[in-house]
């Protein structure tokens, strides 16, 4: 692909519009931050988004996509291809500990438990940024050669148990099909980078995330007479140790990193009773589909064989989650000159792979996609020790918002304007 050469006029128009709208973006973000909602329950958020998209005159606004998603369509003044921009809208079941005048005080029920709700991952920023991008591009409709699809997506942080949701359901319901999207861009704020920095990576950038559960069945007995039964706690401990050899001894970690973590070990109700059963639960993170399948096989085999060696039985259940977030190399190559114009070349930085997961990957399975990262730790704080995303102390510097607006708006407009140069 050839590097783009967007006219200075287009760049200047987007930059000026982004500056004019900055106060509105901050106000939107603060309002959303104060009123977070969990996955598939973003009723208020979706209403705010839909009302805004209608007010700025988008050609079409579709509501209740994948429960609470909103899809806006902007047709430019000239014919051309179709590009999509995505923002996620949901918060997390986290009680906020940041001292802000607009801090969340929301509580709700999540999977049967009462919890606080917080935008601990920055989706309030993503939504506000994309609302602004829609307004900026709608204001220059005549200069746009093609169509922009705005995807305001619910439930990136997973829907409630027993429900579908998120990007997978958005795709299933046709958000990329009418009109037919040819490329998709998305961004994520991150406290691990300072404000002003844009992080990028070509190819696998975020991991596939799978959940495993291992139920180990022994034989209950008195704790004073362990020889009269089969102790699933001891067997479970051996399984935990055995699973650690998957990454260290069974995989070629010079090719791709991976993680197998046991986060739950439950069993027993009394100190002197050996129980019948224990449950292990954990996460698998991989960056390659073959490696992913291999890890699944190792988890199953190791668990079953160790259990059998101790006279117990293991039943292993693995649920495949989000696929690898895999940035299209050609689209990344095309995009880098654009981002360097917007942020300044020193601020566009190659980032390491991240073992977190993102359902943006479902869009990338259908069309070429580029998922980039926007630093949001202010200069008076050390980004190396800043509270990470998903922490109750996560803090997003609002000075990053305008750069996010300029980045997505310029990528979309540039990609449409120069479609005839790609090949």
Question: Catalytic site residue 398?
Answer: yes
Check 143, 322, 358, 363 and give the catalytic one. 322
Question: Catalytic site residue 322?
Answer: yes
Task: Return the HEC string of the chain.
Answer: CCCCCCCHHHHHHHHHHHHHCHHHHHHHHHHHHHCCCCCCCCHHHHHHHHHHHHHCCCCEEEEEECCCEEEEEEECCEEEEEEEEEEECCCECCCCCCCCCCCCCCEEEECCEEEECECCCCHHHHHHHHHHHHHHHHCCHHHCEEEEEEEEECCCCCCCCCCCCHHHHHHHCCCCCCCCCCEEEEEEEEEEEECCCEEECCEEEECEEEEEEEEEECECEECCCHHHCECHHHHHHHHHHHHHHHHHHHCCCCCCCEEEEEEEEEECCCCCEECCEEEEEEEEEECCHHHHHHHHHHHHHHHHHHHHHCCCEEEEEEEECCCCEEECHHHHHHHHHHHHHHHCHHHEEECCCECCCCCCHHHHCCCCEEEEEEEEECCCCCCCCCCCCCCCCCCCCHHHHHHHHHHHHHHHHHHHHCHHHCC
Check 97, 256, 333, 398 and give the catalytic one. 398
Tokens 């939504």 -> residue: 127
Tally of residues, the chain: 423
Q: Counting Cβ atoms within 10 Å, is residue 295 exposed (0-12), middle (13-18) or buried (19+)?
A: buried
- Smallest CA-to-CA distance from 171 within 372, 322, 373 is with 322
Compute the distance between CA of residue 185 and CA of residue 107 in angstroms, rounded to an integer: 32
In sequence order, the 6+-apart residues with CB closer than 8 A to the CB of 288 are 204, 255, 256, 324
Catalytic residues: 322, 398
């Amino acid at each position: 692909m050839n590097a783009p050469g967007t006219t200075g006029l287009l760049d200047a128009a987007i930059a000026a519009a982004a500056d004019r709208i900055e106060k509105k973006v901050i106000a939107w973000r603060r309002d959303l931050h104060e009123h977070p909602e969990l996955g598939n329950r973003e009723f208020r958020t979706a209403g705010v988004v839909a009302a805004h998209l209608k007010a700025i005159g988008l050609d079409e606004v579709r509501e209740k996509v994948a429960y609470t998603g909103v899809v806006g369509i902007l047709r430019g003044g000239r014919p051309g291809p179709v590009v999509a921009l995505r923002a996620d809208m949901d918060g997390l079941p986290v009680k906020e500990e940041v001292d802000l005048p607009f801090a969340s005080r929301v509580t709700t029920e999540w999977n049967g438990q009462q919890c606080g709700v917080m935008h601990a991952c920055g989706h309030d920023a993503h939504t506000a940024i994309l609302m602004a991008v829609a307004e900026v591009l709608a204001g220059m409709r005549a200069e746009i050669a093609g169509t922009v699809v705005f995807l305001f997506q619910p439930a990136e942080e997973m829907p409630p148990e027993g429900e579908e949701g998120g990007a997978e359901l958005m795709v299933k319901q046709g958000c990329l099909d009418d009109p037919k999207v040819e490329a998709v861009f998305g961004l994520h704020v991150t406290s691990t980078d300072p404000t002003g920095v844009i992080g990028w990576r070509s190819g696998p950038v975020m991991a596939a995330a799978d959940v495993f559960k291992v139920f180990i069945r022994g034989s209950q007995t008195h704790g004073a007479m362990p020889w009269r039964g089969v102790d699933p706690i001891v067997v479970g401990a051996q399984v935990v140790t055995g699973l650690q050899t998957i990454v260290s001894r069974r995989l070629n970690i010079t090719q791709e990193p991976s993680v197998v973590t046991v986060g739950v070990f439950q069993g027993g109700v009394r100190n002197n009773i050996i129980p019948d059963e224990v449950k292990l639960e954990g996460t698998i993170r991989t960056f390659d589909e073959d490696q992913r399948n291999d890890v699944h096989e190792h988890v199953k085999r190791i668990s079953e064989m160790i259990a059998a060696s101790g006279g117990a039985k293991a039943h292993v259940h693995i649920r495949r989650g989000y696929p690898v977030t895999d940035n299209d190399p050609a689209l990344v190559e095309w995009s880098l000159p654009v981002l360097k114009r917007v942020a300044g070349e020193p601020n566009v930085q190659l980032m390491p792979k991240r073992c977190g997961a993102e359902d943006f990957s479902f869009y990338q399975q259908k069309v070429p996609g580029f998922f980039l990262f926007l630093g949001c730790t202010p200069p008076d704080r050390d980004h190396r020790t800043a509270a990470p995303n998903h922490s109750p102390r996560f803090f997003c510097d609002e000075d990053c918002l305008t750069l996010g607006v300029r980045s997505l708006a310029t990528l979309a407009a540039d990609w449409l304007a120069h479609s005839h140069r790609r090949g």
